[in-house]
Structure 1
Amino acid sequence: MRTSIIVQNLKCGGCATTITNKLTELKNISEITVDTNSSTVSFIAQDANDALEVKNKLKTLGYPSIEDTNGVLSKAKSFVSCATGKLAN
Structure 2
Amino acid sequence: MESTLKIQNLKCGGCANTIITRLEELKGISNVFVNNDAHSVSFNYTIGQELEDVKSLLSSLGYPAEGASNTLTKKAKSFVSCAIGRMNS
When normalised by structure 2's length, the TM-score is 0.98
1:28 aligns with 2:28: yes
Provide the rounded CA distance (Å) in 1 between the counterparts of 2:24 and 2:2. 15
| Structure 1 residues 53-72: aligned runs within 5 Å | 53-72=53-72
- Structure 1 runs, 4 residues or longer, greater than 2 Å off: none
Aligned-partner SS, 1:79: helix
Q: Tell me, in whole angstroms, the C-alpha distance in 2 between the residues paired with 1:50 and 1:41.
A: 14
Hey, what's the Cα distance between the residues in 1 that align with 2:16 and 2:4? 14
Looking at structure 1, the residues matched to 53 and 67 of structure 2 have their Cα atoms a distance apart, in angstroms, of 16
Q: How many residues are treated as equivalent by the alignment?
A: 89
Give 1:12's aligned amino acid.
C
% identical aligned pairs: 45
In structure 2, list runs of 5 or more residues that go unmatched: none
SS of residue in 1 equivalent to 2:37: coil
Q: Mapping of 1:1-89 within 5 angstroms?
A: 1-89=1-89
**Which whole-Å deviations, capped at 9, do the CAs of 1:60-84 have from their partners, x for residues lacking one?**
0000001211110000000000000
Structure 1 unaligned regions, length at least 5: none
The alignment's C-alpha RMSD in Å is 0.5
